[in-house]
Amino acid sequence: MEHALELTAVVDGIENATLNSGAKASARSRFESTKQRFFGQLLLSMKLPTVIAAVKAHLAGGQSVVLQLVTTAESILDRRLGELSPDERANLEIDLSPREYV
């Protein structure tokens, strides 16, 4: 992280001084929130085998199963919309997968 901050001229590597405190705080915040999302997805993926086994057991027992996966993906949508030109907005096709984190 520190090396990346030096390469982007947020921190002066020679004097170890912060050149842009707002950019440094923003970079650290984004890094930490990305880590939280990653580990949240990791924990979710670890739960899936148990969920799938429970679904199979209920279906084998003649019961119905309803699963609900919920995400607003609002921040991803905002970023994707911000990247579009006016022509692209006219023919709207947006990928809301978190591809930049994978």
Mind listing the pLDDT tens digit for each residue in 39-97? 888 888 898 899 999 999 999 999 999 987 766 667 777 777 888 888 877 777 766 66
Nearest to 102 by CA among 38, 33, 29: 38
CA distance 69 to 77: 17
Provide the number of structural domains found in the chain.
1
Distance CA 47, CA 90 (A): 40
- Specify the pLDDT at position 62: 96
Q: Which domain holds residue 77?
A: 1-100
The values of phi and psi at residue 18, to 5°, are -80, 125
Q: Which two tokens stand for residue 20?
A: 């842009």
Query: Would you place residue 98 in the very low, low, confident or very high pLDDT band (cuts 50, 70, 90)?
Result: low
How far is Cα 57 from Cα 95, in angstroms, rounded to an integer? 34
pTM: 0.48
Ranges of beta strands (E only) in the chain are 11-12, 17-18
Report whether pLDDT(3) > 70: yes
